[in-house]
Amino acid sequence: MMAGNGLLYPVLGFASCVAFIYMSFGNLRFHFEEPKMGFVERNGTQFFLDGRAFYVNGWNSYWLMDQAVEEFSRPRVRAMLQAGAKMGLTVCRTWAFNDGAYHALQISPGRFDERVFKTVLTRKNTITGVEYRNDPTIFAWELINEPRCISDASGDTLQDWIEEMAGFVKSIDRNHLLTLGLEGFYGPKSPEKLSVNPGEWASVLGSDFIRNSKTSTIDFTSVHIYPDHWFLDQELDEKLKYVSKWVISHIDDGNTVLKKPVMFTEFGFSNTNKNFEPSQRDAFYKTIYDIIYESARKNGSGAGALVWQFLVGGMEEYNDDFGIVPWERSATFKLITEQSCQLAAIRNGLVKSKGNSEELC
């Protein structure tokens, strides 16, 4: 879907090049000089950084770009990144685009400006002077958030777009990993997996987790988890059982079919549920965290997850029914921090891959 040839593809969703920003988890300090680390790489079903397996425990703060523009709001960005570091988080997912505005990536629905794609990838970091495509503090790029093409349920239109745009990004930036931004729904090319979908509607959206993720220029997969949107009348226990099934299914795909890491790049639990309690959200988080930890402990494809979404205080205009200020609830803060600690222990060789593990958290 390149603006250069004037073609208009009916792809729905956000047109995004999304930066996943790696944060130091060793001494939990920020380094504003040119980093001495390498780029995160993929080897089979795992990420590697500087010769060791790398696992992601992180979050979404889509608003960072907006808040960084104005000097008076930059303290929010600083506070969020510092809080992430304190929790041992390794990656933050954020927007790196405009829609229909100044230097818009998406000029109009389904129409994109090729020059802006290139501009994002080659923009210089204003602190270090390093072009984004050469900056190892950027973990990866995401092509588009939750792509759908409901006018072509076969999935061919979206698949063509993925192959074209992934190749275009890789022609400019060969240093960074690339993912899609899929929700994880199985499509008509994966008939044996359709029963895993949350409903029949999910198979006719023009996307297909297996087919799309097999694209050779896509380095790792992306999956979203929103049981509150998918199952309006289910009780918590039923939702959590489905979440386990959903997460395990995609990790199995990564292990056996795709041979690529699997990232759960958005997961959220709504505070609009009937009789909502924060402990229910904690149980939802823990269900996902535990499965990812077990996969990582066995060197599997479960590479990590990113909560939707984290904010700092006073940002109600950016909030939705999934947003939290993580340090406002000690149990939630502890849960997230312990997952960071456990994954770091695996990376540092302090947890056995089989049998009993030595927990240091």
- Catalytic-role residue among 146, 238, 277, 294: 146
Q: Are 82 and 310 in contact (CB under 8 A)?
A: no
- Catalytic-role residue among 142, 183, 266, 338: 266
Going by the DSSP 8-state scheme, the letter that residue 107 receives in this structure is E
Q: Are 172 and 121 in contact (CB under 8 A)?
A: yes
Q: Give the contacts of 101 (CB within 8 A, at least 6 positions apart).
A: none
131 is known as an active-site residue: no
146 is known as an active-site residue: yes
C-alpha to C-alpha distance for 230 and 249, rounded to whole angstroms: 17
Q: How many residues does the chain have?
A: 361
Closest to 341 (Cα-Cα) out of 357, 327, 356, 322: 357
C-alpha to C-alpha distance for 92 and 80, rounded to whole angstroms: 10
* Core vs surface per residue 300-329: b (16+ CB within 10 A) or e: bbbbbbbbbbbbbeebeebeeebbbbbbee
Which positions are annotated as active-site residues?
146, 266
